[in-house]
Amino acid sequence: MRRFVSLCLFFSLGASAQNLPANYDQLIREETPKVIEWRRYFHQNPELSNREYNTAKKIEAHLKQLGIETRVMAGTGVVGVLKGGKPGPVVALRADIDALPVTERNALPFKSTAKTDYNGQQVGVMHACGHDSHIAMLMGTAEVMSKMKADIPGTVVFLFQPAEEGPPGTEEGGAPLMVKQGALDNPKVDAVFGIHIEDWADLGKIYYKPEAFMASSDWFTIKVKGRQSHGAEPWKAIDPIVVSAEIIQNLQTIVSRQMDLTQAPVIITVGKISAGVRPNIIPEEAVMEGTIRTLDSKMQKEVHERIRNTAKNIAAAYGATVEVTIDTKTLVTYNDPKLVAQSLPSLQKAAGENNVVPYHWVTGAEDFSFYGLKAPSFFFYLGARNPATKMEDAPAHHTPDFYIDDSKLDVGVKAFCQLVFDYAKNK
């Protein structure tokens, strides 16, 4: 901790920011109503992962109107490149653009009434995680930066990324596909920043943590194969449901008895079980599906191995067989400590010195983590809870009642602009 504080002092006292233009504050004031208008437009017109066709068209048209070089990547992703008038580094700023299969219950004038097919059923579509605000803040940043082009030290890459919530089925998508297709390579990016709105957090405040911040996310499937029999004669069966119950119980002992939780949290959740067709038939197969969350990459690998061994050994004890598959959806979202330290003064200028607060690690996951494989990265939260709502009463993300107060989205725009200018000085 002492080392981190020392770095903060070095970067805040020993380095001054690149000068923003004299009309910077005026540009932000003029942009804020547009940012709110865009956020509400996208909220009313959401699209699911890898299907953000109209969203991408609107973003691309906006960037082109600003004279920003654009290209489409990862199907519905849009990358904009703005070359500044002064030499300097390449900084990437990211926003995710997809919505969720959730039916909105809010009574907003810009409430989503969109519906679409998802996994063979009709569902509502809603920006139930705030990606609409992410798009709007980055569009606003692009417009402000385009008006300061002559003063920008270096190049800004705007990453409007699809499918953060996960591409459907076996499709590729999200940050892994953006990275794979070279979003950070041409031009080669020196640092990547990302913001996530949070409806539980104090309005206009920024929350951060150096090093591991958000968990890796793995999805697992365990198929237990036994022997079918009449429910009245269980001794003739190898009951996969009983075996599955034993496996589920023992998966929790991996967390409670096998992992050093003083090092980092671990979560194993079984969220779905499928087995059988009739109450009086013991089936041949049972299938469990769930998620793993870890905040340490070594622990992540160890948990995978322990799940496989637990399932295999319990199944063998009953005479059953088992198949275990584990699919990594995201990595640990890791904030480069040096980048965090040098960025804190920038965030304080954007939000106010007392409005940038350290936070703890989070078991939610973000595919922003994949950008950290290519360049130092820093991902932080922006609070958007209406002051009239208590923190404990704020609806959870990914729910029909999710709601944000969009009156402080200008803080996100300011943060992105400050980070670009200040990073160049500290580089």
CA–CA separation, 28 vs 41, rounded Å?
20
As given in the structure block, the two tokens for residue 282 are 């013991």
Has residue 14 got a pLDDT over 80? no
CA nearest 97: which of 37, 167, 163, 35?
Answer: 163
pLDDT band at 18 (very low <50, low <70, confident <90, very high): low
Buried b (16+ CB within 10 A) or exposed e, 263-276: ebbbebebeeeebb
Q: What is the pLDDT of residues 196-236, one digit of tens each?
A: 999 999 999 999 999 999 999 999 999 999 999 999 999 99
Q: What is the pLDDT of residues 248-291, one digit of tens each?
A: 999 999 999 999 999 999 999 999 999 999 999 999 999 999 99
Which CATH code is given to the segment(s) 216-330? 3.30.70.360
**What DSSP element (H or E) covers 87?**
strand 86-96
Q: What is the pLDDT of residues 364-411, one digit of tens each?
A: 999 999 999 999 999 999 999 999 999 999 999 999 999 999 999 999
CA atoms within 13 A on the CB side of 273: 14
**pTM over the 0.85 mark:** yes
Q: Is the dihedral of CA 287, 288, 291, 292 positive or negative?
A: negative
CATH classification for the domain delimited by 2-210+336-426, as one of 3.30.390.50, 3.40.630.10, 3.30.2350.10, 3.30.1440.10: 3.40.630.10
Domain limits of the chain?
A: 2-210+336-426, 216-330
| pLDDT for position 119 | 85
